[in-house]
Amino acid sequence: MNIIDFHTHPFLRDENNSCFYGDTVTSENFVKTLKSAGIDHICGSVIYKTESFEGIKKLNREALEIKKQWGDFYTPGMHIHPHYVKESIEELDFMYQNGVRLVGELVPYYNGWSLYYDEAMHAIYEEIERLGMIVSVHTDMKVDMDNLEKAVKRFKNITFVAAHPHQREHYYKHIELLKKYDNYYLDLSGTGLFRFGMLGTLIKNVGSEKILFATDFPITNPKMYVEAVKFEKLMDNELENVFYKNAERLLKGVE
Ligand SMILES: [Zn+2]
C-alpha cells in the first residue's frame, strides 16, 4: 500500500538532525531508511533551535535544497515567525513562488514563541489564507489548545493539521476539535500510537477522513508507526484514508 508520511524533519546539515541517537540517521540514509519502512512520500520542515529570522530563513532554504535533491519524494514545509511579521509574509511569498504549499510543522518552543493566535499570527494567517497554504502545528500538553482553536475557528479556509495525538485530556481535545471544525486534521506522529486502541477509538469518534499517517522521523522509528497503524484492525478503506488518501487529497488541493 502507498504510504505518505505527513510529518518528518529532513536535513542536509548535521546540526539539523533531530535523531536522538547520533548517526543512526544521516542525510545520506534518510530516504533509504524511510523507504525500507514502506514509506513512499514525506512532508515536513527542517528544524533547529533558532530565534532569529536569519535562522528561520536558513531552515527554509535547506528545505528547498532538499526538494531539489529528493524531487517527488518530498513535500517541503516552511517556517514563519510571529516576532517578524513583515519578514514572514515576504518569506511566505518567496517560498510559495518556489512551489512550497505547506507551512510547518511549526515548532514554536524551538523558535522562541508560543501562541498560535494573536495579532501577529493573524496577519501571517491572512497571507497564508490568500495563498491557500496548509498549516501543520506542533501540539503537546503545554500548548494552549484554546488559543489554537481561535485560529482554527477564525481561519476556516486554512486547513490546520495538528501533530501528535498524545493521550488523556489532550487526546480528547483533538477529538472535540475534529468534530467541531472541518478544517482541523490530526497527524499520528510522536506520542499516541503506542497506546493500543488509540487510532481505532479516534476513527470510531470522528471517522477516518481527517487522520493523517505521520511519524516525526528521524526522532522516531518509522517502521514502528507503520506496524502500529496496521495492527489497529481498521477497515480497508479506513487504512487507505489514513495511509495516503487523505494526505493526497490535501496536497492535490493546494497544487
Ligand atoms: Zn515534529
205 vs 97, 159, 179, CA distance in Å?
39, 20, 8
Between the CA of 216 and the centroid of ligand 1 the distance, in Å, is 5
Q: Where are the chain's structural domains? A: 4-253
- Please state, for a pLDDT cut of 90, what percent of the chain lies above it: 98
Between the CA of 132 and the centroid of ligand 1 the distance, in Å, is 22
Between the CA of 187 and the centroid of ligand 1 the distance, in Å, is 10
Between the CA of 138 and the centroid of ligand 1 the distance, in Å, is 7
Q: What pLDDT does residue 94 have?
A: 98
Rounded distance, CA 9 to CA 66, Å? 11
Domain 4-253 has CATH 3.20.20.140: yes
**Is this prediction's pTM over 0.95?**
yes
Between the CA of 79 and the centroid of ligand 1 the distance, in Å, is 12
Q: What pLDDT does residue 1 have?
A: 77
- List, for residues 190-223, the tens digit of each pLDDT value: 999 999 999 999 999 999 999 999 999 999 999 9
- Which residues, by Cβ under 5 Å, contact ligand 1, an ion? 105, 216
What are 160's strand-pairing partners?
135, 184
Between the CA of 7 and the centroid of ligand 1 the distance, in Å, is 6
Q: What pLDDT does residue 80 have?
A: 98
Nearest in space to 6 (alpha carbons), one of 242, 253, 254 = 242
- List, for residues 58-100, the tens digit of each pLDDT value: 999 999 999 999 999 999 999 999 999 999 999 999 999 999 9
Between the CA of 105 and the centroid of ligand 1 the distance, in Å, is 6
The helix-helix angle for 85-97 and 53-70 (nearest 10°) equals 10
